[in-house]
Structure 1
Amino acid sequence: MKIQGKLKRLLIAITVLFLSFATGVAGFMLIEDYQFFDALYMCVITTSTIGYQEVRPLSDVGRAFNIFYILTNLAIFAFVISTLTSYLFEGELQRIFKRYQIRKIIKKMKNHIIVCGYGRNGFNVCQELDRLKIPYVLIEKVESHLQNFRVDKYKQAILGDAIHEETLLEANIKEAKALIIALPNDANNVFITLTARELNPNIFIVCRSSEPSSEKKIYRAGANKVIMPEALGGIHMAQLVVKPYIVEFVDLISGLDEMKLKLDEVRLTEIKPEIKHLSIKDLQNDIDCEVNIIAFKDKEKGFILNPRSDTQLSEDKVLIILGTNEAIGRFKQKYLQ
């Protein structure tokens, strides 16, 4: 629910209370010819049920009006008190203020990732993004699922349903670079993909599919990649038996092994101007370079594995490098802008 919706009940309570006092003041002034302050005093002692003596004895018409005013305000006063209690003592006002702060932080985020759903798949996605320290916004509609989720400078969370356009806008989808949809319902995933593609035509969308028949529909909706976790899990289990060393190597270069090696990509559009004339050999021979360039992607030829050492760097290439987190960090700090 948006902040405006949460404040609606409070605004209604304040408006009803104001109208009640306005009606009472007008009634006492017209019927009993009270001055404004005397009429307001009568409204306060009547509404609060204190029972002080009237300013002066009421006429029969004034008593009839007062009876109507008392009975009406019993319900109004109960509604106002319950509303104020929920906001002041049950933490509703604090939750609204916290959500307002989160919205301000998310509004400033750029090139972040949006994750839809915090179930089993969404949880693992967030764990990996946490490990890589990549900024992201999580959207989850079940409040209890977010009890153990802790926000920090890299991650924020929104309580809402991603199928609603306003929720995606609240996650600042127009400034996001990628969207990961990890929900179990394929129909909802198609709808979210369509909405996201309309809001941000350039966003990279990775979507989960539970049924093979939904894969083509999700692609047609605008997804860049469709993942079926159950199928991947089955393939992985078979590979563990048939090709255990390959799986072990893949785990090694995925950062899951104790050596903490990982693959990373370096876009040469971000490389420093003074080294754009260098070749792969020049980078590999640098004594400070502790990463291996195992491939690059060419705009026309696609991926080139084990590239020639005399390959010149150019902005249309993306290097695939292998190394520890520390080595990759030093490489980027030295060569990237």
Structure 2
Amino acid sequence: MLSGSSLMFGMLGFTFIENYGLIDAFYMTVTTIATVGFGEIHPFSAAGRLFVSVFIIYNLVVVAYLVSVLSAFIFDGQLQKIYRMFRTDQEIKRFSGHVIVCGFGRNGRRAYQELRASGARVVVIESSEELMKSITDGHTGEDYDGEGLAGGKIFTVFGDATSDNVLKQAGVERASALITSLPKDADNVFVALSARALNPRLKIIARASLKTSESKLLFAGANSVVMPDEIGGSHMAKLVVRPEVIRFLDLISGLSADKLRLEEMTFEQLRKDLRGASIRQLDVRSLTGATVIGMRTASGSLLVSPPMDYVPTPGDVLLVLGSEEQIQRFEVAFRHLEIK
């Protein structure tokens, strides 16, 4: 833009002051800007010499400005930041089956940590670059698109999560799930509506502050709605009336130092040679130390402490509780490994 305005300014000056034709005016403008000094087509008038002097000073200022901008990009890290963001965008385009977290406030951050701890690949959508920078600087001392909160790179798309283009940039059409934890319920409704339209198979978990927003979010396409304030109040009350139950739940949720892990395994993930065996025959506790505490059947009903003679069928999901080591042994002993 600056070079174009300089070219136009020079051609107009040479045309009206020195009465040059279009080609001659263009030639003199280019040679003056380039400082090659080929000389005048004909001697300048006093007004022409004054114009050329001003024109040269103007172009020196333009060049100095361009040099300062380029220096800022190189030395202030702007060019490197743009390159990192471009590289991140290219990496996200290769993601499939990942989870998108919209909003990186307290709830979004906690969801991100849990997902990363479970080995899930996560893409964050956040409108505030300063927020991401302050969070990651506090943990790693690096920039917002450096090494992340729970280890590993935080793949971040900066923008408004209610925008279809931003959701597409985060790979919503290839994602397996989306968590929207924006501060405003109306924004979460809009995200759920847009995400559902872009990916009908997407699992959507939405945050709500008001009870009246729950039905709207479900209608917009959310599979589940979570109200943190309501859960927090209930949790505090139960610490008074049933403290040991809550302490046990804290073990499962990871809020306690000696945390337990609650894992699920579908019938299809079970080793093929174990399909058709009853809970008793699987003998999970003796082999791994973990315990089968529940079963979600294919019909949707939940069995707590399923009968020992119950035989899992296609569509069933085993719920297993144990320490981290016990669950790892369970995974090794019972999970079907797909050979690709």
What's the TM-score, normalizing by structure 2? Answer: 0.80
Aligned residue in 1 for 2:319: 320
Paired residues for 1:1-337 under 5 Å? 16-17=2-3, 20=6, 40-45=30-35, 55-56=39-40, 58-60=43-45, 63=49, 66=52, 69-70=55-56, 73=59, 76-77=62-63, 80-147=66-133, 148-149=135-136, 150-151=147-148, 153=152, 155-284=154-283, 287-300=286-299, 302-334=301-333, 335-337=335-337
* Distance (whole Å) between structure 2 residues aligned to residue 142 and residue 220 of structure 1: 29
For structure 2, the 5+ residue unaligned runs are: 137-146
Deviation, 1:266, is 0.5
2:193 and 2:220 in contact (8 A); partners too? yes
Structure 2 residue identity aligned to 1:206: I
CA contact (8 A) 2:99 2:121 kept: yes
Would the alpha carbon gap of residues 123 and 233 (structure 1) be closer, same or farther in structure 2, given more than 3 Å must change? Answer: same
Contact 1:134 1:154 in 2 (8 A): no
User: Deviation at 1:91?
Assistant: 1.9
The one-letter code matched in structure 2 to 1:101 is R
Distance in 2 (alpha carbons) for counterparts of 1:204 and 1:198: 12
Distance 1:276 1:321, change over 3 A: same
Q: Distance in 2 between matches of 1:249 and 1:286?
A: 19
In the TM superposition, residue 314 of structure 1 has moved relative to its aligned partner by: 2.4
Count of residues in correspondence between the two structures: 316
Q: Quote the Cα distance in structure 2 between the aligned partners of 1:277 and 1:299.
A: 15
Deviation of 1:186 (Å) = 1.2
CA–CA distance in structure 1, aligned partners of residues 311 and 170 of structure 2: 40
- Per-residue Cα deviation, 1:206-226 (whole angstroms, up to 9, x for no partner): 111112222221111111111
Q: Distance in 1 between matches of 2:84 and 2:127?
A: 17
Q: Please give the alpha-carbon distance, in whole angstroms, between the structure 2 residues aligned to 1:154 and 1:32.
A: 56
Structure 1: which 5+ residue stretches go unaligned? 1-12, 46-51
Q: Give the share of equivalent positions with the same residue, in percent.
A: 33
Q: Secondary structure at the match of 2:96?
A: coil
Q: Report how far residue 274 of structure 1 moved.
A: 2.4
Q: State whether residues 31 and 37 of structure 2, in contact with CA within 8 Å, keep that contact through their aligned partners in structure 1.
A: no
- Distance of 2:284 and 2:127 partners within structure 1: 52
Contact 1:117 1:183 in 2 (8 A): yes
For residues 189-211 of structure 1, give each alpha carbon's deviation from its aligned partner in whole angstroms, at most 9, with x where no partner exists.
11111111111111111111112
Kept after mapping to 1: 8 A contact 2:264/2:320:
yes
Q: For residues 75-123 of structure 1, what are the alpha-carbon distances to aligned partners after superposition, in whole Å with 9 as ceiling and x for unaligned?
A: 7546534542332232221111000111122222222211111212222
Instruction: Give CA-to-partner distance per residue, 1:281-330, whole Å, 9 cap, x none.
Output: 22216853322111111111511111122222322111101112222223
In the TM superposition, what is the alpha-carbon distance from 1:228 to its structure 2 partner? 1.4
Assess if the C-alpha contact under 8 Å between 2:189 and 2:220 holds in 1.
yes
Q: Hey, what's the Cα distance between the residues in 2 that align with 1:265 and 1:129? A: 15
Write the letter of the residue equivalent to 2:314.
E
Partner SS state of residue 288, structure 1: helix
- Cα distance between partner residues in 1 of 2:250 and 2:209: 25
Q: Using the alignment, how far apart are the partners of 2:320 and 2:278 within structure 1?
A: 15
Measured on the aligned residues, the alpha-carbon RMSD in Å equals 3.2
SS where residue 173 of structure 1 aligns? coil
Higher mean C-alpha deviation, range 150-159 or range 293-302:
150-159
Kept in 2: contact 1:17–1:80 (CA 8 A): no
**Contact 1:42 1:55 (C-alpha < 8 Å) held by counterparts:** no
* Alignment check: 8 A CA contact 2:32 2:56 kept: no
**TM-score, length-normalised on structure 1?**
0.81
Amino acid at match of 2:90: K
Does the residue aligned with 1:184 lie in a helix, a strand or coil? coil
How far did residue 68 of structure 1 move? 7.7
**2:33 alignment partner AA:** C
